[in-house]
Structure 1
Amino acid sequence: MKKNINFLFILIILSALMASCAKDKGNYDLQPIHEITIADFNQSGNYEILINDTLRINPDMKQENVQNGKYKYRWYLYSNNYDPAVELSSEKNLKKAITVPIGGYTLVFTATDESTGIGTTKTANLMVSSKFSSGLVVLEEKVQGGDICQIAFNGTVYRNLFSDANGGQFIPKPVGKLDGFYFKGGIAVQKPINLFLTSESRNPMELNPENYKLSKPFSEFMAIAPSGNINLQTTQQNGNSNAIYAIVNGKMQFGFPYEATPIFEGALLGDYELAPFIITSTTGGRINLPNKTDLISYDQKNGRFLWYSGFKIGEYNTYSKDMSTPGAFDPNNVKKKCVYAGYSNDYLYYNWLMKDDAGEMYFYQIYPVSTQKAGADYKAITDAPEMKTAKIFAGSTKLPNIYFAAQNKIYSYDYKSNMTRLIYSFAATEEITDMKFAVSRISEFENFYMPLRTLDKIYIATYNGTEGKVNEFEVSGTGSIGTATNIYGGFGRITSMFYKEKR
């Protein structure tokens, strides 16, 4: 009996399943779906446009079995930082002046059939830049005062940018130098470099990096501005955080802002007077480094290295005095003058050139830990007498080379071999006034979060008494520079150059 009941139950279930699979013979009005297709806007799917220029796109659109359909169109874009969408047009063909802030965007076009509601969407990448968003910025001193020019990557030279942007005003003499940092907070990689005009004789001013108009005094970036003159000696960002640093009157101003506008919250505490160099360290996420330091500085007053790690203002630290595992030197006892600091060709080591009271030169290399092992390398430099008087240095992060200028000559110091060689001589009438590598400041995991990486190009400014020139060289794999690939003339005396990379 029980078997019969189970069999009957199974038959009922099977009947129900078969009924559910039977063809529905209901009377439905099924309409064919006429898909809309849009051909790619261009082959690459990428557009680049200068701010305020007009973007023109005429999309090639088709719909299956429809000849004269009516459609609703929408063109809009949104920032890669997830800001609200910016409406551009409701016409099929786009013709619109692009006035959004410079940066990266996603451009979107939608077309919708008004009768059926069927629609489609096509996207493309849009990079909005300005004429001056990238290139080599040149600060020159002329008879009437200072001015700013820019050399674009295509070789175009834009002149008199500061005076044109500021109603014919020139920069007072001495014109000073250019400095700046890349701030990753707020709108991330779209944020322009913060650019400053600095001089020991007057308070620094921010320049609008897109047109070089005077913006605001540097003191407005400081929560607690010092009284009297503000001497901005150098400034830099951290490679893998929002931390920013600036040496002002020998003190390290520190900030860790999250908003779009960077703010220095105050000076790190302690008895010190810093050399004008900032090294922000990183392990690049590759290793777990015990006792890691985030910031390394040199205290000229007490002849020692200092370190700091943290997210708010605190005390500068000296290195451990435990000598059980010593390094190549004692970071607490250097007692020399620092003339250069920079990043090496290894992301975990940082280079320093020192001069003693007798004028002799020394190479120091720091490892980013707070113990005595921080002293990674030390050498007395014995074959570079020209380095003793050098004031212009530029270090490579690709090669173990530090370049320096003496009179009309360029030398390369190889800190692995502790050897120096002459690599270029200008005419005897030419004075070298500045030297800068092309660099990239956009830090990512793939490049070990290095806050500054040099490229294969170096710019050397010279002056012969009447004309300033920018000499562009390609750096070879051996560190040589050969002959200039480009020479740009017609400048006054160039006092400073600043490289703005394409973002």
Structure 2
Amino acid sequence: MKRFYGLCLFGLFIWLFSSCEMENDNIYDNPNFNEVQVNVEETEAPSTILQFETLEITPSISQSQQSGESNLSYEWTLRTDEQYLNAPIDSVVATISKERDLQYDINLITGDWKFVLRVTDENTGVTATGQFFITVQNQFSEGWLLLEEKNEMGDLSIILPNGNIFRDIYSSINPDAPLDTPLRQLVVTNFSYGVDEIVILSESGGVRLDYNELLKIFDLQDLFWEAPVPFNPEYHVWHDAINGWIINNGKVHLQVRGGFPGDKKYGAAMAFPTVGDAYHAAPFVAQGSDPYSGPYPAIIYDEQGQYFVYLSTALSPTLKNFPPAPDGAAFDMNNVGLDMVYMETGNTDYLINAIMKDDSDEYFMLQIQGDQAEPARSYRVMNEAPEIANHNAFETSKTLDRFYYSAGNTIYLYDIPSGLIIGNPFLLPEGESITAMEISYLDPTVMVVTTWDNSEGRVYKLALSGTGEMSLSSEYEGFGRIIDLAFKD
């Protein structure tokens, strides 16, 4: 009996299968059958495209029995090679359009992608497909990155070398990882070996981005063995590819990289000599000398005790007091007695410019030569520096012993050896206030300046003469409030 039922079921299956085959054969053999063909290769789809460009495709579609296309529906899907090869043709990875012609903004990470058009004859349910491959390439390999706040959100824009602007690129690439605001610092690091990263700091957090993709890969807290509490990152910098620094809530954290295996992260707060953790570091770490040979690989200022300390060696990190100041020293590194305003590397190796002030708002320029046994190089009262008490940005020349400072919409060029202003101040439009200034080591003849007028941010490129004087080269508008900027190459 079981055998009889089995034979019956088998016979029924064969009959159903043959009926379906005959029906399909009848459909395709029918001279009135409408055959649809799709060809996207004839549209000359590009083999490569840049991120954030728009892909426009008008496919070639033909029908054997229909002159119009009112009977057709369209579905464009996006797939990766791996997903496509391991899935059937109608397994949708991402549907990007239901229109006949494709217009698609390439908000994709770099790599190879497959685009598939599926056309369905709604009268018969029969489908036809066309497909092509595109390699998405990095749009943002080089240009000025701008960290901005707008509509209470943080974002990145970029100005490419040809002047093209791409806006809102962070939020486009990372829609599910909004930046915390207020924003604080943008750090672009690209050494030929060891470190290439982009870090964004906010007042209570931060993120690290993939250098090429601008894709968020870590929260800043993840870069510590144990994230400090409270988490208030104020400053970040790398010295060569060996020492990474983060100042968090006035405490110094160091990451050491070298030729040893294992993960590298930021450690606990470093102790200052004598006082332990009873210090509050200014938000600057200057490279004083070669990290291996010394004598002062990194220099840090304690705002609480008003003195400098230095890193002993790059691979055996301990903070130390400087040797006692000799007779005739320009100043005492262990007893400065001033408030730190700004500190940055100067125009020559291991020269550090520190702008400081006293309780009466008198300003001073201190220069430190970090590769000398006695590092205190010069000390000058800045008597001839108009409006410096109203400063809003500083930037050191990369070729001259001079620096720029701004007040309101005005930029001054200060000559450090003479203590005088050089040339005429450079004025930007009334109503705008300068928010940041930056000169790239890759092109020290250009300074990029950003402004804010309480409703719109603007960017100005200033050409710098051989003596450092400024002239307007180009300008861009339509930004939010720009907090920081850096050149990416």
Residue 311 of structure 1 and its aligned partner are, at CA, apart by 3.8
Residue 468 of structure 1 and its aligned partner are, at CA, apart by 1.3
* TM-superposition CA deviations, 1:464-486 (whole Å, max 9, x none): 2332111011111111111x211
User: 1:419 is matched with which residue?
Assistant: 420
User: 2:323 is paired with a residue of what secondary structure?
Assistant: coil
**Which of the numbers 320, 324, 327 marks the counterpart of 1:321?**
324
Residue 318 of structure 1 and its aligned partner are, at CA, apart by 1.1
User: 2:69 is matched with which residue?
Assistant: none
Q: Identify if the C-alpha distance between structure 1 residues 227 and 367 changes in structure 2 by more than 3 Å, giving closer, same or farther.
A: same
Equivalences for 1:143-292 in 2 at 5 Å?
Answer: 143-167=151-175, 170-182=178-190, 188=193, 192=196, 194-200=197-203, 202-229=204-231, 231-239=232-240, 242-258=242-258, 262-270=264-272, 271=275, 272-282=279-289, 292=295
User: 1:267 is paired with a residue of what secondary structure?
Assistant: coil
User: 1:347 is matched with which residue?
Assistant: 349
CA distance, structure 2, for counterparts of residue 205 and residue 282 of structure 1: 29
Residue 179 of structure 1 and its aligned partner are, at CA, apart by 2.5
* TM-superposition CA deviations, 1:124-168 (whole Å, max 9, x none): xxxx97221221111222225222111111211111112211227
Equivalences for 1:372-387 in 2 at 5 Å?
Answer: 373-387=374-388
Letter in 1 for 2:141: S
* TM-superposition CA deviations, 1:147-195 (whole Å, max 9, x none): 21111112111111122112276534424332343456xxx27x53x22
User: 1:31 is matched with which residue?
Assistant: none
Q: What is the TM-score with the length of structure 1 in the denominator?
A: 0.65
User: 2:448 is matched with which residue?
Assistant: 459
Q: Identify if the C-alpha distance between structure 1 residues 180 and 265 changes in structure 2 by more than 3 Å, giving closer, same or farther.
A: farther
CA distance, structure 1, for counterparts of residue 229 and residue 317 of structure 2: 21
CA distance, structure 2, for counterparts of residue 479 and residue 177 of structure 1: 26
User: 1:477 is matched with which residue?
Assistant: 466
| Contact 1:136/1:152, CA 8 A, preserved across alignment | yes
| Contact 2:398/2:439, CA 8 A, preserved across alignment | no
User: 1:299 is matched with which residue?
Assistant: 302
User: 1:162 is paired with a residue of what secondary structure?
Assistant: helix
CA distance, structure 1, for counterparts of residue 355 and residue 393 of structure 2: 12
| Contact 1:339/1:355, CA 8 A, preserved across alignment | yes
| Contact 1:177/1:198, CA 8 A, preserved across alignment | yes
Say yes or no: does 1:437 pair with 2:439.
yes
Letter in 1 for 2:361: G
| Contact 1:247/1:276, CA 8 A, preserved across alignment | yes
Equivalences for 1:399-418 in 2 at 5 Å?
Answer: 399-418=400-419
User: 1:81 is matched with which residue?
Assistant: none
| Contact 1:269/1:313, CA 8 A, preserved across alignment | no
Residue 264 of structure 1 and its aligned partner are, at CA, apart by 2.1
Letter in 1 for 2:210: N
CA distance, structure 1, for counterparts of residue 426 and residue 262 of structure 2: 44
Q: Identify if the C-alpha distance between structure 1 residues 498 and 50 changes in structure 2 by more than 3 Å, giving closer, same or farther.
A: farther
CA distance, structure 1, for counterparts of residue 332 and residue 325 of structure 2: 10
Q: What is the TM-score with the length of structure 2 in the denominator?
A: 0.66
Letter in 1 for 2:187: D
User: 2:207 is paired with a residue of what secondary structure?
Assistant: strand
User: 1:234 is paired with a residue of what secondary structure?
Assistant: strand
User: 1:490 is matched with which residue?
Assistant: 478
Q: Identify if the C-alpha distance between structure 1 residues 349 and 438 changes in structure 2 by more than 3 Å, giving closer, same or farther.
A: closer
| Contact 1:255/1:266, CA 8 A, preserved across alignment | no
CA distance, structure 2, for counterparts of residue 489 and residue 203 of structure 1: 28
Residue 392 of structure 1 and its aligned partner are, at CA, apart by 0.9
Letter in 1 for 2:477: G
Residue 212 of structure 1 and its aligned partner are, at CA, apart by 3.2
Q: Identify if the C-alpha distance between structure 1 residues 356 and 210 changes in structure 2 by more than 3 Å, giving closer, same or farther.
A: same
Letter in 2 for 1:303: Q
* TM-superposition CA deviations, 1:6-34 (whole Å, max 9, x none): xxxxxxxxxxxxxxxxxxxxxxxxxxxxx
**Which of the numbers 333, 337, 340 marks the counterpart of 1:338?**
340
Q: Identify if the C-alpha distance between structure 1 residues 150 and 429 changes in structure 2 by more than 3 Å, giving closer, same or farther.
A: same
User: 2:182 is paired with a residue of what secondary structure?
Assistant: coil
Q: Identify if the C-alpha distance between structure 1 residues 261 and 212 changes in structure 2 by more than 3 Å, giving closer, same or farther.
A: farther
CA distance, structure 1, for counterparts of residue 441 and residue 377 of structure 2: 25
Letter in 1 for 2:286: I
CA distance, structure 2, for counterparts of residue 247 and residue 175 of structure 1: 15
Q: Identify if the C-alpha distance between structure 1 residues 369 and 466 changes in structure 2 by more than 3 Å, giving closer, same or farther.
A: closer
**How many residues are paired up?**
355
CA distance, structure 2, for counterparts of residue 268 and residue 139 of structure 1: 29
CA distance, structure 2, for counterparts of residue 438 and residue 206 of structure 1: 21
Letter in 2 for 1:269: A
Equivalences for 1:119-130 in 2 at 5 Å?
Answer: 130=138
| Contact 2:288/2:298, CA 8 A, preserved across alignment | yes
User: 2:7 is matched with which residue?
Assistant: none
User: 2:360 is paired with a residue of what secondary structure?
Assistant: coil
Equivalences for 1:391-402 in 2 at 5 Å?
Answer: 391-402=392-403
Consecutive unaligned residues in structure 1, runs of 5 or more: 1-48, 53-97, 101-127, 441-453
Residue 345 of structure 1 and its aligned partner are, at CA, apart by 2.0
| Contact 1:353/1:363, CA 8 A, preserved across alignment | yes
Q: Identify if the C-alpha distance between structure 1 residues 292 and 464 changes in structure 2 by more than 3 Å, giving closer, same or farther.
A: same
- Quick one: higher RCO (CA 8 Å, sep 6+), 1 or 2? 1
User: 1:133 is matched with which residue?
Assistant: 141
User: 1:390 is matched with which residue?
Assistant: 391
Letter in 1 for 2:481: R
Residue 383 of structure 1 and its aligned partner are, at CA, apart by 1.1
CA distance, structure 1, for counterparts of residue 351 and residue 473 of structure 2: 31
Residue 402 of structure 1 and its aligned partner are, at CA, apart by 1.0
CA distance, structure 1, for counterparts of residue 391 and residue 246 of structure 2: 24
Residue 347 of structure 1 and its aligned partner are, at CA, apart by 1.4
| Contact 1:433/1:463, CA 8 A, preserved across alignment | yes
Q: Identify if the C-alpha distance between structure 1 residues 181 and 302 changes in structure 2 by more than 3 Å, giving closer, same or farther.
A: farther
CA distance, structure 2, for counterparts of residue 169 and residue 235 of structure 1: 21
CA distance, structure 1, for counterparts of residue 385 and residue 49 of structure 2: 47
Letter in 1 for 2:140: F
Q: Identify if the C-alpha distance between structure 1 residues 248 and 370 changes in structure 2 by more than 3 Å, giving closer, same or farther.
A: farther
Residue 497 of structure 1 and its aligned partner are, at CA, apart by 1.2
Identity percentage of aligned residues: 25
Letter in 1 for 2:289: T
* TM-superposition CA deviations, 1:46-85 (whole Å, max 9, x none): xxx9889xxxxxxxxxxxxxxxxxxxxxxxxxxxxxxxxx
User: 2:312 is matched with which residue?
Assistant: 309
Q: Cα RMSD over matched residues?
A: 3.0
Residue 251 of structure 1 and its aligned partner are, at CA, apart by 1.9
User: 1:363 is paired with a residue of what secondary structure?
Assistant: strand
CA distance, structure 2, for counterparts of residue 346 and residue 173 of structure 1: 35
Letter in 2 for 1:167: P
